[in-house]
Chain A
Amino acid sequence: MNHESILLILRSVLIVSLSLSIVYTSGIVWRVERRLDASYKLFLVAIIFLFGAEVIDLYAVSGDRFPFDIAAVGFRAIFGLLFLMGMLLMRGIVRNLDGERKRRR
């Protein structure tokens, strides 16, 4: 198997995994509410941005590639921020339900 095939298979696995993640995260967003809903919405948007970055990276552009590189890196940065926000929201839910916050007050 040549290098092109290996890279193509790995890229395909990544893109297919991300597209499936979009579907199943949407399913969770439809089913949950309140803060749980908000955190999963953040996860969903983060995954969409990562998916966008991968697609932009895959497409070869003639001439100046800088705007596309900026877009891809920007999308990844947004993914990181949204993922962090969703994770913090989820962390807050867990701490709240555990009663950790009430005890501190």
Chain B
Amino acid sequence: MKRSRKKKLDLRRTARWHAASSLGVFFAYLGLSFLYSPDFLLSDVRSRYRALAEGMVTVTGRVLGPPAVPIVSGVASCRNGVLSVSLSWAEDEASESFDIVRDGLPLVSGLSDPTYSDTTVSVGSSYVYAVVAHGPMGPGVAVSESVAVTLPSECAVDMPVLNLRLTSFDGKNVSDPSRTSKTSHERPTFIGTVNIPNARISILVGGPTIVSAETSANVNGYFVWRPPFGLENGLHTLSLTATDPEDYERSVSFAFSFRVTDDGDTPREDVKYAITSVSLTDNESGGSRLPEPDSESNPDICRPDVSIPPSPIRYSLSTETGEALQGGDMVAVLSIRALDREYEGRTAVVRYVIVDDKGQKQSTFLAEEILVSGGVIRRAVPVSGRLPEGRYTLRTELLLGQHAVVHDVPFSVRLFPFLNLGGGYFISYPDALHHIGTLAFSLMVLLFLWIGLFFREYGLFLGADRFVSARHLAQAGFFGPRKGVDRK
């Protein structure tokens, strides 16, 4: 009797263990599959169903012969400074892979396509190539005849002619840049293009108001700029210089003159800074001069020969991460390279402006910063939660006496996250919405499991015989004597 009872107990224990482990494996599989990919479970079930449904499998086979001897042709070429030897041969069904031997040494192996472009070649050198074809059946190998290729003695890079244009001034097309345009707006918008992606654009406005600034074009070479302050009435000259960010020696300039007039209709902003200037690059040490007027070719253009006073500060602008979250902060880093003694330790107003890719101002933030030569200013600039995801520019306008120093740095705004996983990792709302079905299902399963366990625990408590106190535990032998201790 006792034996059979023990057997039954063992069987029950085994059955329970089996059920628990099966459930564990099932939920682990479910959880992992949802985490790996929401479609994983569905595709797995579908593939299993198909494997069951398609019971009949047809296998076709074909015995191939030895590979054919490749007939190789080699052509040397130079395209925009890149030398290469293009090798090609006929496709062969009986050849599975190809190896190429150059000057008796292996060059590449395991090629599946009957073409190869060798770019590890030098100007004016000669190379001898041979192709070895391998067949899939047994030791089938076929070696081609050797082909000698000589590379050209010159290979120059064809750089495109740089082209910088001002396409629009104050909302009007610029058809003839040699003519002086007029505007009644004190802060006209300049739009242009250059055939250098992400070019750095140095801007210099000369005349009654002098503004010098720097911005960058987008990948298409498009740029928009607007003076940070209102320009005074009078004739101004705009000088643009676009520089290739990958090659600082490649640059192109453009000049344009315009007149700001007061028509009385447009209210003028307070012009607090009559003269504004900027240090354009780190190498610029003193004042810069505007380009000389081309009065001979165009008598209308009368470009003032104005000497810009040296900038009292030189600094660079960067961002800590290059991106910010909607509703978060963008940390701007201003590294002061040089500062006039006059301003050492003094505070200055810095205007932080967020500009979208169309040049529209999105938000402005003012802060007073303490200036120290060689110091670094870190400022968290708030990014509006309503700002759409995309690329923006952070502009700093540092006002020192009569000088305004303007710098731009691009950054991107990321969508506000839904879940904060820690360590700077997030799950965004679109990601969460994309997997909303999976998330909802997983949460439902977990919630039901939790409620089930809770009620199970309560049911077990209802079936308990008594309440347990500390004394019960002692009586049950939970507090036994310690070995080697003899207490009376």
> Chain B: interface secondary structure?
mixed
In the docked arrangement, what's the CA distance between A43 and B461, Å? 18
With A3-B425, A19-B450 already in contact, the answer to whether A59 and B419 are too (CB < 8 A) is: yes
Take A4-B427, A97-B470, A99-B487 as given contacts and tell me if A60 and B479 are in contact as well, using a CB distance cutoff of 8 Å.
no
Tell me whether A31 and B468 are in contact (CB under 8 A): yes
Chain B residues near A98 (CB-CB < 8 A): 479
**Interface 9-residue window, one of B336-344, B361-369, B451-459:** B451-459
Q: By the criterion of a CB under 8 Å from any partner CB, how many residues of chain B are at the interface? A: 34
Residues of B within 8 A of A63 (CB): 327, 385
**Per-residue A-contact encoding for B242-285, CB less than 8 Å = 1, 0 else:** 00000000000000000000000000000000000000000000
Determine if B420 is an interface residue (Cβ-Cβ < 8 Å): yes
Complex interface: chain A residues within 8 A of B416 (CB): 60, 62
The answer to whether B469 and A36 have CB atoms under 8 Å apart is yes
For A12, A31, A59, which residue has the most chain B Cβ atoms within 10 angstroms?
A: A31
Contact with B along A1-35 (1 / 0, CB 8 A): 00111011101100010011001101100111111
User: Do A23 and B461 contact each other (CB < 8 Å), given the known contacts A7-B423, A34-B469, A62-B416?
Assistant: no
Chain B residues closer than 8 Å to A34, beta-carbon distance: 469-470
Complex-state Cα separation, A99 to B481, whole angstroms: 11
Within 8 Å of chain B (Cβ to Cβ): is A94?
Answer: yes
**B421–A8 contact, CB under 8 A?**
yes
Query: Cβ of A26 and Cβ of B427 under 8 Å apart?
Result: no
Instruction: Report B-chain residues with C-beta under 8 Å of the C-beta of A11.
Output: 421-422
Q: A11-B421, A23-B454, A99-B487 are in contact. Are A62 and B327 (CB under 8 A)?
A: yes
Point out residues on A near B: beta carbons under 8 Å: 3-5, 7-9, 11-12, 16, 19-20, 23-24, 26-27, 30-36, 57-60, 62-63, 93-94, 96-99
Of the A-B pairs whose beta carbons lie under 8 Å apart in the complex, a sample of 14, sorted by A's number, is A4-B427, A5-B35, A8-B421, A8-B427, A16-B446, A23-B454, A31-B461, A35-B469, A57-B422, A60-B416, A60-B419, A62-B326, A62-B327, A97-B471
Q: Which 7 A-B pairs have the closest CB atoms?
A: A62-B327, A7-B421, A27-B457, A30-B461, A60-B420, A60-B417, A33-B467
